[in-house]
Amino acid sequence: MLIDTHTHLYANQFEEDRTEMIQRALDVGVEHFFLPNIDLDSIDGMYALEAAYPGQMHPMMGLHPCSVAADYKQVLEQIKSELDKRSFVAIGEIGMDLYWDKTYKKEQEAAFLMQVEWAEKLDIPIIIHSRETTQLLIDVLKDYGSGRSRGIFHCFGGSYEEAKQIIDLGFNLGIGGVLTFKKSGLSEVLEKIPLKHLVLETDSPYLSPTPKRGKRNESAFIAYIAQKLADIKQVPLEELARITSENASRIFKI
């Protein structure tokens, strides 16, 4: 069994072949799909997938940092109303992203901390987006200081020192297609990280792994990521799948 802990299957890129794409993932052994929310417009698509694949599609709720703008407080009020209606496996994806634009840096941090507080009150994990902000968010969580937050640093591609700090905070590392990129340096980092701290993800339709790089990513491609990580850790693929799936099941309590 494989688990894709981070996939945007509701995205417009899948409009023409979503059913076939999901079937390809099921055929390679993916049994659970965790769906991070982006903004108010992505909610209905998540719910539709959950209804179509009950027990396999697991929506999260949150506001993506790239969707944070001047009106973030009003948007978060609507996000919170969804959290009040029903249960979710996690709050995500949340965090900070300063890659394209630093205009709303303060608003991103405020939105992140507000959603961290919600997750702690609900006792559910958070899924963290940290593009160009990994150390910043590590420091924010250290300063926040409750020690009760948990979850996944999604799409981890940082240093060993950052990985150690994340693990010490009680978080796990989401490993995706970046692992298969020749110049990422992530293989050397993960050689030193025990499997108990790692989960698999695709971030589809983004970040396709080698040999599909440059094409639309999909959940079936998690098989390439799993095989690469199994090779690095020098364990059979079946063992790698079992351990990472157990990790995911523990984090999301499924």
- The count of domains in the chain is 1
Q: Are 139 and 109 contacting, i.e. CB atoms less than 8 angstroms apart?
A: no
The boundaries of the domain holding residue 110 are: 2-252
**Share above pLDDT 70 across residues of the chain, in percent, rounded to a whole number:** 100
Average pLDDT value over all residues in the chain: 97
Length of the chain (residues) = 254
Mean pLDDT of 32-43: 98
Element (H, E) at 180: none
**Residue 106 has what pLDDT?**
97
Task: Please tell me the least confidently modeled range out of 1-15, 17-31, 136-150.
Answer: 136-150
Q: Residue 223 — pLDDT band, cuts 50, 70, 90? A: very high
Distances (CA, A) of 11 to 14, 38, 147, 176: 6, 10, 34, 18
pTM of the entire predicted model: 0.97
**Residue 146 has what pLDDT?**
79
Mean pLDDT of 217-225: 98
Q: Are 113 and 144 contacting, i.e. CB atoms less than 8 angstroms apart?
A: yes
Residue 42 has pLDDT above 90, yes or no: yes
**pLDDT tens digit sequence for 135-161:** 999 999 999 977 889 999 999 999 999
Distances (CA, A) of 170 to 16, 106, 131, 139, 149: 40, 25, 20, 14, 8
**Residue 145 has what pLDDT?**
78
Cα–Cα distance measured from residue 128 to residue 5, given in angstroms and rounded to the nearest whole number: 12
Structure tokens at 121: 């009150």
Q: Are 9 and 219 contacting, i.e. CB atoms less than 8 angstroms apart?
A: yes
Residue 166 has pLDDT above 90, yes or no: yes
**Residue 78 has what pLDDT?**
98
**Residue 148 has what pLDDT?**
87
Mean pLDDT of 120-142: 97
Q: What is the CATH number of the domain that holds 125?
A: 3.20.20.140
Mean pLDDT of 105-122: 97
Mean pLDDT of 174-192: 96
Structure tokens at 148: 């009760």
Q: Nearest CA to 91 among 63, 129, 61? A: 61
Structure tokens at 109: 């941090």
**Residue 196 has what pLDDT?**
98
Q: Nearest CA to 222 among 207, 243, 239? A: 207
Residue 63 has pLDDT above 90, yes or no: yes
Strand partners, 166: none
Mean pLDDT of 182-208: 97
**Share above pLDDT 90 across residues of the chain, in percent, rounded to a whole number:** 97
Residue 52 has pLDDT above 90, yes or no: yes
Cα–Cα distance measured from residue 7 to residue 201, given in angstroms and rounded to the nearest whole number: 7
